[in-house]
Structure 1
Amino acid sequence: MPNASLVIANWKMNGNKALVKEMTAFLRDNKEQFNAVDVVVCPPFTLISDLTRECYYDDIAVGAQNVSEHESGAYTGEVSTSQLKEAGVGCVLIGHSERRQLFAENDEQINRKIKSALSADLQVVLCVGENKSQRDAGETWNVVSQQVKNALQDVATDNAGKIVVAYEPVWAIGTGDTATPEQAQEVHENLRALVVDLFGEIGNKLPLLYGGSVKPDNAKELFSQKDIDGGLIGGASLKTDDFLSICQAAQG
């Protein structure tokens, strides 16, 4: 029986106003099929306001894919925590592998972003994961644990309740490859022990998500693992039927 309780859609640089209307209407009409699951949709910045309006009376939360560590100033192209909150955003993805790889975000900057988001009372979804060469070299846990420790350095225990950790093996993102349920659970079990070590008992309640080519045909088995509390969904979150099936798999 799946124990998942949180499913987050990451649309990346995809989607339009039509998808916002289509997806929210579809989820609204089928909400009874996943009413025990919290659903968050993270669209591109340009669609946040549209999504917020469509979700106003629904139990679908709105998230952002990125945020600046700066509150204001001459930072062309950046968006601050206060601007996100004013737009109706409740959580933000930080440290996604594409931000690390394509935009050179490092652990120190990710740590600053997390602290800024937490101080603004935003929920943080910290993304971590190893690439293929690191997995092949047996470095998976060394890489993942260091990313978590660096990202959460000096984060107070009082803020732990606003943190989600999403394990996304880089080699599985958008490739069609997926960590086996056993591989994913092994990392999540270690993550559970790590967040308990960092934050104490509250770490047992901190949601741990799996991401990386989650699809309708593998979601149930992934979500059935003891320490996997839900998913961070990429490509499948752009298709109404697929995303509904994943939410249903989380419901059990």
Structure 2
Amino acid sequence: MRRKLVAGNWKMHGNHKANAELLDGIHSARPFGCDVAVCVPFPYLSEVAVALAGSDVRWGAQDCSMHEQGAYTGEVSAGMLHEFGCRYVIVGHSERRQYHAESDQLVADKAKAALGKGITPIVCVGETLAQREAGETEAVVKRQLSAVIHTLGHCAGEMVVAYEPVWAIGTGKVATPEQAQTVHAVLRAQLRAATARADQMTLLYGGSVKPDNAAVLFSQPDIDGGLIGGAALKAADFVAICRAAG
């Protein structure tokens, strides 16, 4: 069986006091029956690395540059993240695609840069409400994932894929377990055509996951955990979701 993963995406939230309380709440609830990670804003990577040192809770970032180094003001390279001990980095989140006009190919190039430094990319795919209502969900997510598969080549099996329907992120709406499973099955089939490791790969669901719906979502055959937004900022909620996965 695939081991479940629950990764918290703090987005642009946090301060020293709140971070310490949140991490203490997560750390004190260990051990979990699944892999657990927090993906935090760049300025807090150092303090999170110190707070979680020696713990089985891992940490990561929310983005990285496709470039290794150079005159790219404001960018952060995968090599820099590696120095902070990052295990994961989120790439292609819908907010990056929407607000920063990130293309499928740019997302793929970022995933390749992360893997090049030994960091596991959590590659996000997902459709908008208009695309779902137009019956385009499968075409959209397959297009987004195809760019990454093509760019990573034989390394495609080393990424984590997160399906996050844009219409369910931060809205309180959530795909039904059946809706989520249908898309995850499509993604798994696409991965099977590309890599022999497809059945061992971790596929996450994200989009208003909460303690009261986590267990049923995670019980679906192709959903291996969650990429958690708002609930990742409350220790009790995040811990409950981790327990649901374990």
Same fold, TM exceeding 0.5?
A: yes
Match of 2:215 among 217, 220, 244: 220
Q: Which moved more, 1:122-131 or 1:110-119?
A: 110-119
Q: What TM-score do the two structures reach when normalised by structure 2?
A: 0.97
The corresponding residue for 2:173 is 177
* Contact 1:122 1:162 (8 Å CA) reproduced: no
- 2:193 is matched with 197
Contact 1:128–1:165 under 8 Å retained in 2: yes
Aligned to 1:206: 201
Partner residue, 1:46: 43
Match of 1:85 among 82, 85, 96: 82
Q: Which residue of 2 aligns with 1:17?
A: 16
Secondary structure of 2:123 counterpart: strand
Q: In the TM superposition, what is the alpha-carbon distance from 1:4 to its structure 2 partner?
A: 6.1
Q: Which amino acid aligns with 2:76?
A: V
Supply the distance in 2 between the matched residues of 1:131 and 1:23 (Cα, whole angstroms).
31
2:183 to 182, 187, 194: 187
**What one-letter code is carried by the residue in structure 1 that aligns with 2:41?**
P
The one of 211, 225, 234 aligned to 1:230: 225
Separation in 2 of the partners of 1:89 and 1:97?
21
2:228 maps to a residue whose letter is I
Counterpart-to-counterpart distance in 1, 2:22 and 2:99: 28
Q: Whole-Å Cα distance in 2 between the matches of residues 225 and 196 of structure 1?
A: 18
Counterparts of 1:111 and 1:191, CA distance in 2: 16
Per-residue CA distance 1:196-251 (angstroms, 9 max, x = gap):
11112x11011000000000110011001010000000000000111011001101
Give the AA of the match of 1:187: V
Is 1:131 paired with 2:131? no
Q: Give the SS at the match of 1:69.
A: coil
| Residues paired across the two proteins, number | 246
* Residues in 2 aligned to 1:12 and 1:99: alpha-carbon distance in whole angstroms: 11
Q: Corresponding residue for 1:160?
A: 156
Work out whether 1:68 is the aligned partner of 2:78.
no
Q: Does 1:144 align with 2:166?
A: no
Structure 1 unaligned regions, length at least 5:
none
| AA of the residue aligned to 2:113 | S
Letter aligned with residue 63 of structure 1: G
Q: CA deviation at 1:19?
A: 2.5
Partners of 1:4 and 1:228 within 8 A in 2: no
- In structure 2, the residue matched to 1:29 is 28
